[in-house]
């Protein structure tokens, strides 16, 4: 991740590589929103983490896993998350 508002343009690693972990991130306000298969969520779930503390142990469920709902894609906007 590179913060384009910071003059240094320093590259920051989002998370360590973990076998089988897949994720897609979107940025909104103070959070990153993460569509992920973490915890064996085959249909994906949505999590979020504060931008200043990216530790995977700090990821919190935002839309819990539901085996009957497949999250194909999403978008994070100022006041909405669109699926």
String of DSSP letters for the chain? -B-TTSTT--B---S---TT--EEEEEETTEEEEEE-TTT-TT-EEEEEETT---GGG-EEEE---TT------EE-SS-EE-
For residues 45 and 23, what is the distance between their CA atoms, to the nearest angstrom? 10
Instruction: Walk along the chain (83 residues) and give the pLDDT tens digit of each residue.
Output: 888 887 888 888 899 999 999 999 999 999 999 999 999 999 999 999 999 999 999 999 999 999 999 999 999 998 999 99
Instruction: Please tell me the predicted confidence (pLDDT) of residue 50.
Output: 97
Instruction: Please tell me the predicted confidence (pLDDT) of residue 48.
Output: 98
Model pTM score: 0.89
């Amino acid at each position: 991740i590179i913060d384009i508002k910071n003059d240094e343009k320093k590259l920051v690693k989002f998370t360590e590589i973990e076998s089988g972990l897949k994720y897609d991130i979107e940025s909104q306000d103070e959070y990153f929103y993460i569509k992920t298969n973490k915890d064996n969520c085959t249909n994906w779930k949505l999590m979020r983490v504060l931008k200043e503390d990216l530790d995977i142990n700090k990821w919190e469920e935002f839309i819990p896993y539901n085996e009957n709902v497949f999250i194909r894609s999403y978008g994070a906007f100022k006041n909405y998350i669109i699926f």
